[in-house]
C-alpha cells in the first residue's frame, strides 16, 4: 500500500469525476488552554493498493497524542478489487468528518493508518497554546 495524500481540512467531498475537493487545509490549531476541543475537522486520505492486496482489508485510523498514546481510533474495512482496464491501481479514499475532537495536551498529534499491524504516518497536527485567545 502507498499513501497518496493525507490532509486535515475544514471540509472535503468526493466529486462524481473521482476528484476530491478540499477546503481550508491546515496543520496547526491554537487554543487558549488544554484540554482543547475542535468543533469540526475533516481528515481526507487516499491509499493506493499493490497487486497482492485484494479483498476485504481491515484498517484503522488512529490519532496519536504527543506521547504517542491514542486519542481516538476509527476502525473499518475497505473492499479492494482487481485493477480495471484504463485505470490506475485500486484506490481507497477516506473522507472522515470528525466533530468535537478533544486534544488533552499541547504538542504535535499524528494521524496514523494501521493495516495488518503496519502503521503509516498520515498527517501531523500541531496544537499550540495561545493565551491571547481568552
Q: What is the extent of the structural domain holding 111?
A: 2-133
- What CATH number is attached to the domain comprising 108? 2.60.40.3880
Give CA–CA dist 91/57, Å, rounded. 12
**How is the beta sheet containing 2-9 ordered, strand by strand?**
2-9, 36-48, 91-103
Give CA–CA dist 27/7, Å, rounded. 8
What does each of the 134 residues of the chain score in pLDDT, given as a tens digit?
Answer: 999 999 999 999 999 998 999 999 999 999 999 999 999 999 999 999 999 999 999 999 999 999 999 999 999 999 999 988 888 899 999 999 999 999 999 999 999 999 999 999 999 999 999 988 76
Q: What is the pLDDT of residue 80?
A: 96
Give me the number of domains the chain comprises.
1
Residue 126, all three cell numbers: 500541531
Q: Residue 102: which H helix or E strand, with range?
A: strand 91-103
Amino acid at each position: 500500500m502507498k499513501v497518496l495524500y493525507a490532509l486535515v481540512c475544514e471540509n472535503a467531498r468526493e466529486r462524481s469525476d473521482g476528484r476530491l475537493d478540499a477546503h481550508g487545509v491546515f496543520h496547526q490549531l491554537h487554543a487558549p488552554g488544554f484540554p482543547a476541543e475542535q468543533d469540526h475537522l475533516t481528515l481526507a486520505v487516499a491509499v493506493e493498493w499493490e497487486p497482492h492486496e485484494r479483498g476485504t482489508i481491515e484498517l484503522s485510523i488512529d490519532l496519536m497524542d504527543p506521547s504517542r498514546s491514542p486519542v481516538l481510533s476509527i476502525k473499518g474495512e475497505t473492499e479492494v478489487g482487481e485493477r480495471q482496464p484504463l485505470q490506475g491501481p485500486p484506490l481507497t479514499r477516506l473522507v472522515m468528518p470528525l466533530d468535537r475532537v478533544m486534544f488533552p495536551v499541547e504538542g504535535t498529534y499524528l494521524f496514523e493508518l494501521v493495516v495488518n499491524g503496519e502503521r503509516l504516518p498520515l498527517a501531523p497536527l500541531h496544537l499550540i497554546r495561545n493565551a491571547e485567545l481568552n
